[in-house]
Amino acid sequence: MSKLINPHGKEQKLKPLLLEGGELKEEKKRAETLRKIPITSRETGDAIMMGIGGFTPLDGFMGEADWKGVVTDMQMTDGVFWPIPVTVSVTKEEADAIAAGEDVALVDEAHNTAMAIMTVTEKYTIDKELECKEVFRTTDPEHPGVAMVLEQKDVNLGGPVRVLSESFFPDEFPGIYQRPAEARAIFTERGWSSVAALQLRNPMHNSHAYLAKVAIEVTDGVYIHQLLGELKPGDIPADVRVRCIDALVQGYFRPERVVQGGYPLDMRYAGPREALLHAVFRQNYGCSHLIVGRDHAGVGDYYGPFDAQEIFDEVPKGALGTQPLKMDWTFYDYKLGEMASMKTSPHEDKAVLDDDGNYVSGARLLLSGTMLRKMLSEGKPVPPEFSKPEVVAILREYYAGLDEKVEVKLHGMATGKAKKKK
Phi/psi at 113 (5° precision): -115, 130
Contact between 114 and 37 (Cβ < 8 Å): no
Closest to 229 in 3D by CA, of 288, 274, 184: 274
Closest to 201 in 3D by CA, of 230, 170, 171, 243: 230
The rounded Cα 28 to chain-centroid distance in angstroms is 29
Q: State yes or no: is 284 an active-site residue.
A: no
Find the helix or strand (DSSP H, E) in which 4 lies.
none
- Residue of 202, 243, 273, 282 marked catalytic: 202
- Residue of 201, 268, 273, 373 marked catalytic: 201
Q: State yes or no: is 282 an active-site residue.
A: no
Task: Look at residue 265 and give its three-state secondary structure.
Answer: coil
For every residue of 35-96, DSSP letters joined together read EEEEE-HHHHHHHHHHHHTTTTT--EE--HHHHHHHHHHSB-TTS-B--S---EEE-HHHHH
Q: Which residues contact 72 (CB under 8 A, 6 or more apart)?
A: 130, 134
Sheet with 323-326: list strands edge to edge.
258-263, 221-227, 195-200, 289-292, 323-326
- Nearest-angstrom CA–CA distance, 147 and 141: 5
- Nearest-angstrom CA–CA distance, 385 and 284: 35
Burial of residue 153, with CB atoms counted within 10 A of its CB: 0-12 exposed, 13-18 middle, 19 or more buried: middle
Closest to 236 in 3D by CA, of 364, 359, 387: 387
Burial of residue 316, with CB atoms counted within 10 A of its CB: 0-12 exposed, 13-18 middle, 19 or more buried: exposed
Judging by DSSP bridges, how do beta strands 221-227 and 195-200 pair with one another?
Answer: parallel
- Residues taking part in catalysis: 201-202
